[in-house]
C-alpha cells in the first residue's frame, strides 16, 4: 500500500487497460526501451545536479538518491522496492495499534503487528515503489539515470514479475490478517486493495495523480499516514469515524512532506510536463507551501487535543512542533535544494513522534 500502508510515499507508459500489471512494452508512443537507455546517457548531463554513477552501496540498497550502480539482481530488486520508504508505513501501523487501545505485549499481538508491518512495508510499499519506478523511467533517465530501469540493469520482464509478486503477496497477507483477527468484514484486505489502486493511479496514465502537485502529494501523504494507521487500528480494535477524519487531516502534513521530495526532481518534472508544486509555483513559493502545510496541520491537531481535554498531549505535541519550525528556518527555507535531505533527517523524527503521541491521545 502506498503509504504508512503501502508509504504511505517516497516519496513518482501507457497501459492498454486501467490495470497496474498490464504493462505496455512501449516507453512512449514514439520511443522504445532503447531510447530510455540512450536518454539516460544523453540527458544525465543536462541538469547540473544530476548524480554521478559512483554513488554509495548503502544508498543503492536503501533505494536512495546517489546510489552506486549494481549488477547483483537481488540487490537491484531491493533497490526498486526502496526500503528507505518502508519506515513511515511501519510507523503508521504502530500508531494505529497504539490508537486501538487493545494492543498487548503478548507473543500473538506482537506477531500480528509485525506481519501487518511486513505487509505495509516490504510488500505493498515495495509494490508501490516498483510500479512508480516503471512509470517514471523517462524522468529517472534525466534525474537519476543510475536507477535500475533507465540504466538497463533490470529487464522489463523482471520488473513486471516483481510487481505481481509484491502485489499478490501483500493482498494475501492482508486477507490472512483479517482471518487471524476474526473480522467478519475483510477490512485489511479492503484497505490494501484501495491503497494498491491509489498507488497505481498515482503513477500511471491516464489519471497519473502525481501530475498534479496538490492532488498527487495529498494522495501520497494520506497513503503514508492514514492507510497504515487504519490497518493497525482495525487489526486490534475498531476504526472510528473521528479517527478517520483526524488522520485525513494529518495527511495534509504528509502533503507537505511529499513536496520536500519534489525539489530534487524539478529538472525531470519540468522536462516531462509534470506540475509538481516547485515547478508550478517556483522554488520560493513552494517551500513556504511545504512548511506551512506541515506546521498548520500539526497546530490544528494540537488545538483539537486541547479542545477535547487532552491538555498534556497537546502540550507535548507543541513541544515537538517547535524544533521542526526551527529546523525549517535553519535548513529548508534557506535552500530546499541543498538541505532537503538534512532537513528531513533532522526534523522528521519530531514529526513522527508527534504522530505517535496523537495516537496515544486518541487511544480507544
pLDDT tens profile 24-39? 333 333 333 334 444 4
Q: Which residues contact 79 (CB under 8 A, 6 or more apart)?
A: 60, 61, 63, 67, 70, 147, 148
Summarised one tens digit per residue, pLDDT across range 315-354 is: 999 999 999 999 999 999 999 999 988 998 899 899 999 9
Give the pLDDT of residue 64: 60
Instruction: Tally the domains of the chain.
Output: 1
Give the pLDDT of residue 213: 77
Distance between CA atoms of 97 and 177, rounded to whole angstroms? 14
284: in domain: yes
321: in domain: yes
Nearest 5°: CA angle at 212, between 209 and 217?
A: 75
**Global model pTM greater than 0.85:** no
16: in domain: no
Give the pLDDT of residue 14: 32
Summarised one tens digit per residue, pLDDT across range 27-76 is: 333 333 334 444 433 333 334 444 444 466 666 566 566 666 667 788 88
Nearest 5°: CA angle at 256, between 255 and 261?
A: 95
Give the pLDDT of residue 5: 40
Find the DSSP H helices in 237-308.
Answer: 241-262, 266-272, 277-281, 283-307
- Cell digits of residue 361: 491521545
Give the pLDDT of residue 84: 86
245: in domain: yes
158: in domain: yes
- Cell digits of residue 243: 479517527
Which residue ranges in the chain fall short of pLDDT 70?
Answer: 1-70, 364
Give me the CATH number covering residue 180: 1.10.600
Give the pLDDT of residue 226: 95
Distance between CA atoms of 163 and 158, rounded to whole angstroms? 9
**Structural domain range at position 311:** 33-361
60: in domain: yes
Give the pLDDT of residue 43: 38
20: in domain: no
2: in domain: no
Distance between CA atoms of 226 and 304, rounded to whole angstroms? 17
Amino acid at each position: 500500500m502506498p503509504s504508512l500502508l503501502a508509504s504511505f510515499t517516497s516519496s513518482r507508459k501507457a497501459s492498454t487497460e486501467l490495470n497496474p500489471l498490464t504493462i505496455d512494452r512501449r516507453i512512449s508512443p514514439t520511443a522504445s526501451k532503447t531510447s530510455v537507455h540512450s536518454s539516460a546517457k544523453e540527458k544525465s548531463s543536462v541538469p547540473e545536479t544530476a548524480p554521478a554513477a559512483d554513488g554509495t552501496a548503502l544508498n543503492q540498497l536503501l533505494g536512495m538518491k546517489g546510489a552506486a550502480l549494481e549488477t547483483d539482481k537481488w540487490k537491484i530488486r531491493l533497490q526498486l522496492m526502496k526500503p528507505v520508504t518502508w519506515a513511515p508505513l511501519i510507523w503508521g501501523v504502530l500508531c494505529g495499534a497504539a490508537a486501538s487501545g487493545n494492543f498487548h505485549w503478548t507473543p500473538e499481538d506482537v506477531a500480528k503487528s509485525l506481519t501487518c508491518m511486513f505487509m505495509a512495508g516490504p510488500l505493498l510499499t515495495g509494490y508501490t515503489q516498483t510500479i512508480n519506478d516503471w512509470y517514471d523511467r523517462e524522468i529517472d533517465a534525466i534525474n537519476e539515470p543510475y536507477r535500475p530501469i533507465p540504466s538497463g540493469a533490470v529487464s522489463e520482464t523482471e520488473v513486471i514479475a516483481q510487481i505481481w509478486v509484491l502485489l499478490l503477496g501483500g493482498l494475501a497477507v492482508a486477507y490472512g490478517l483479517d482471518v487471524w483477527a476474526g473480522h467478519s468484514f475483510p477490512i485489511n484486505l479492503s484497505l490494501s486493495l484501495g491503497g494498491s489502486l491509489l498507488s497505481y493511479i498515482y503513477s500511471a496514465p491516464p489519471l497519473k495523480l502525481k501530475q498534479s502537485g496538490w492532488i498527487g502529494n495529498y494522495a501520497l501523504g494520506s497513503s503514508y499516514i492514514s492507510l497504515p494507521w487504519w490497518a493497525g487500528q482495525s487489526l486490534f480494535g475498531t476504526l472510528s469515524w473521528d479517527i478517520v477524519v483526524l488522520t485525513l487531516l494529518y495527511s495534509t502534513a504528509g502533503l507537505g512532506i511529499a513536496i520536500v521530495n519534489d525539489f530534487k526532481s524539478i529538472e525531470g518534472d519540468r522536462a516531462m510536463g509534470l506540475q509538481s508544486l516547485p515547478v508550478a509555483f517556483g522554488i520560493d513559493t513552494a517551500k513556504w507551501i511545504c512548511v506551512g502545510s506541515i506546521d498548520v496541520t500539526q497546530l490544528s491537531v494540537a488545538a483539537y487535543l486541547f479542545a477535547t481535554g487532552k491538555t498534556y498531549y497537546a502540550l507535548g505535541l507543541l513541544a515537538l512542533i517547535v524544533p521542526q519550525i526551527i529546523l525549517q528556518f535553519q535548513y529548508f527555507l534557506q535552500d530546499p535544494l541543498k538541505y532537503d535531505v538534512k532537513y528531513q533527517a533532522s526534523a522528521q523524527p519530531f514529526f513522527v513522534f508527534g504522530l505517535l503521541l496523537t495516537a496515544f491521545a486518541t487511544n480507544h
